[in-house]
């Protein structure tokens, strides 16, 4: 790698640290606020999101979030009690409990996502069309840099 490339790479990393963490902090704060309006915690929101993404058991949720099964179980119990998710026993293996979102759970998750989407769109409104295209392209580049 040339000296010029190394300097550019270092500048890119510094710009990343100056930009993404503060922006992500604002996004997370908005998600927290929206979740609290729906009387759930951010952790419970994350459980719902992961169930929708296919992690449909306590073990899979714990692995996806890299936390203990008892910690996930507590959040799952609370969401079951609120009627937001349901537990279903696998007819072939009674030890396997499947987690699914209920209709109210799907509506709640959709509402938080839509609220956050609208907030993000409002936040990005000051950018020109060209800047939005550049930002989208930059995120595509970052996606390519992610390890598989």
pLDDT averaged over the chain?
Answer: 91
**Is the residue at 59 inside a domain?**
yes
The reply to whether 142 falls in a domain is no
Long-range contacts of 53-56 (CB under 8 A, 24+ apart): 56/98, 56/99, 56/100
In a domain, 130, yes or no: no
Q: Is 141 inside any structural domain?
A: no
Tell me, yes or no, whether 92 lies in a domain: yes
pTM: 0.79
Q: Is residue 132 part of a domain?
A: no
- Which two three-digit tokens encode residue 80? 């079951």
Confirm whether 80 is domain-assigned: yes
Q: What is the pLDDT of residues 56-98, one digit of tens each?
A: 888 888 888 888 888 888 889 999 999 999 998 878 877 788 8
Interval 92-119 mean pLDDT: 91
143: in domain: no
pLDDT reported for residue 28: 92
CATH number for 106: 1.10.10.10
How far apart (Å, rounded) are the C-alpha atoms in residues 19 and 8? 16
Q: Which domain holds residue 107?
A: 3-120
Number of domains in the chain: 1
């Amino acid at each position: 790698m040339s000296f010029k490339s190394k300097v550019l790479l270092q500048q890119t990393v510094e710009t990343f640290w100056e930009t993404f963490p503060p922006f992500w902090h604002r996004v997370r704060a908005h998600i927290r606020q929206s979740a609290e309006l729906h009387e759930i915690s951010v952790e419970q929101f994350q459980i719902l999101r992961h169930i929708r993404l296919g992690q449909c058991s306590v073990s899979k949720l714990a692995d996806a979030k890299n936390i203990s099964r008892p910690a996930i179980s507590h959040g799952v119990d609370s969401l079951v009690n609120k009627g937001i998710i349901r537990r279903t026993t696998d007819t072939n293996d009674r030890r396997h409990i499947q987690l699914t979102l209920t209709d109210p759970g799907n509506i709640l998750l959709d509402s938080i996502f839509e609220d956050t989407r609208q907030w993000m769109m409002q936040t990005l409104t000051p950018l020109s069309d060209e800047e939005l295209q550049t930002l989208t392209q930059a995120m595509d580049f970052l996606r390519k840099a992610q390890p598989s």
